[in-house]
Amino acid sequence: QKEVEQNSGPLSVPEGAIASLNCTYSDRVSQSFFWYRQYSGKSPELIMSIYSNGDKEDGRFTAQLNKASQYVSLLIRDSQPSDSATYLCAVNGYNFNKFYFGSGTKLNVKP
């Protein structure tokens, strides 16, 4: 079983819609959770981090964490074509020394 699981997609949404990306993880002691965006041919860039249960909002992005169910999600409101990218979920272990990445969900936002 992989440490971090994501649906590979592609997930297609029309411009202006809400995109919902999901991620599950296997290690119950995981402490920190991150969403990265990666454009084709580029390196991942951090867009959100979340450390406690509940929602965290930053502009059009909302990260949601449920440790009991071991899932973390990312909502993108008012999706734009520039949001088209692969979104990577990452989980950090108890000692902060290792990150586990999902294989990413490809998002296509159609104009």
Minimum distance, C-beta of residue 106 to another protein, in the bound complex (Å): 11
Tell me the number of residues near another protein by CB under 8 A.
20
- DSSP three-state, residue 83: helix
Site for another protein in 19-58 (CB under 8 A): 32, 34, 42-46, 49
For another protein, the closer of residues 79 and 84 by Cβ is 84
Using CB under 8 A as the binding rule, whether residue 87 contacts another protein is answered as no
For another protein, the closer of residues 64 and 79 by Cβ is 64
Q: List own/partner pairs for 100-104 with CB under 8 A and 24 or more apart.
A: 100/3, 100/4, 100/25, 100/27, 101/4, 101/36, 102/2, 102/4, 102/5, 102/6, 102/23, 103/2, 103/6, 103/8, 104/6, 104/8, 104/38
Using CB under 8 A as the binding rule, whether residue 1 contacts another protein is answered as no
Applying CB under 8 A, the residues found at the interface with another protein are 8, 32, 34, 42-46, 49, 88, 90, 92, 96-99, 101-104
